[in-house]
Amino acid sequence: MGTEATDSSHTPFGTDRVARRGERRPRQPLRLLLVGFLLLAAGCFAAPTPPPPSPSGPPFPGYPSIPPYSGSQCKTVLLIGDSIMTPVNNLGTVLQQSSRCANVINAAVNGTAPAGTLGGVNWSTRLQELIDQHHPQIVVIQFVGNGFDGTNDAAWLSQLQSGIINLVDIAKVSGVPYVAVAPVAAPLAPNLVGMNQFISWELNAIIPGATKIDLNPYLAPGYQFTEFMTFPEGTRRVRNDFVHLSELGAFISGFVIAAAIAPEWT
């Protein structure tokens, strides 16, 4: 009885299907790669995230006019205050452009206050020393109200108010003919309550011996704080934050102060 030969060309039923399945498996990573590519392509062509809205602000009303001067008077102008006054550096140039001879001393010190010794400065003593040294005909005062810490703000507010009145008195008693206070509208930050109250007092109080220089039509139209204003060349920043003036804001402040004191040249 012979042995039946086995035909190796035939496979059991279903074995070829298993083989074919094994042949298709390597294609699945290719499918995943294709799906990932399509998702990436869809992301590339998706609509971009819209940019943040452009800043806006009230229109700038234009700089105040300063009439030309033909006289020969030369005056010394003393500026005192804190960080709202320190960047004002164009006053002399603006006055000279209208043919006014002016020697401008900006003696403001950042972080100080008209009362006490905040920032290491006693303004009662410092102002008297500055007047004795420079003999100004004009003194302009600008403080924003540093020093509120939430512990005894009502008492500090009263000291700041008395401090402003005291500085005006020192200048007037020393024979300074023209003394002015130049506040800017209060910021809107709710945590700056004391500062807001102090600036509001500066704006509205009658301070004997002092003239008010109103910067607000040019820096805070409608007496509303704004960081931006709209100029012919576009929207520009006039405040760097809730307190400090930008370079442009300081330039505007200096120009308005110059226009306010220009009539003192007679």
The pLDDT tens digits for 99-155 are: 999 999 999 999 999 999 999 999 999 999 999 999 999 999 999 999 998 889 999
Q: What is the pLDDT of residues 167-181, one digit of tens each?
A: 999 999 999 999 999
Q: What is the C-alpha to C-alpha distance for residues 163 and 166, in angstroms, rounded to an integer?
A: 5
Provide the token pair at 28. 């699945």
Specify the pTM. Answer: 0.80
In angstroms, the Cα distances linking 134 to 68, 139, 187, 261 are 26, 11, 34, 18
Q: Is the pLDDT of residue 28 over 90?
A: no
Amino acid identity, position 148: F
Q: Report the SS3 class of residue 163.
A: helix
Strand partners, 79: 106, 140
| Residue closest to 217 by CA, chosen among 168, 157, 259 | 259
Long-range CB contacts for residues 117-121, cutoff 8 Å, separation at least 24: 118/146, 118/147, 119/82, 119/146
Q: What is the per-residue pLDDT for 1? A: 47
Task: Please report, for the chain, the start and end positions of each structural domain, with discontinuous segments joined by +.
Answer: 74-264
Q: Which CATH architecture has domain 74-264?
A: 3-Layer(aba) Sandwich (3.40)
Main-chain dihedrals φ then ψ at residue 55, nearest 5 degrees: -65, 150
Residue 204 half-sphere exposure toward CB, CA atoms < 13 A? 9
CB contact set of 127 (below 8 Å; sequence gap of 6+) = 80, 139, 167, 170, 171
Average pLDDT over residues 35-41: 62
Q: What is the pLDDT of residues 179-224, one digit of tens each?
A: 999 999 888 787 889 999 999 999 999 999 999 999 999 999 999 9
Q: What is the per-residue pLDDT for 40? A: 61
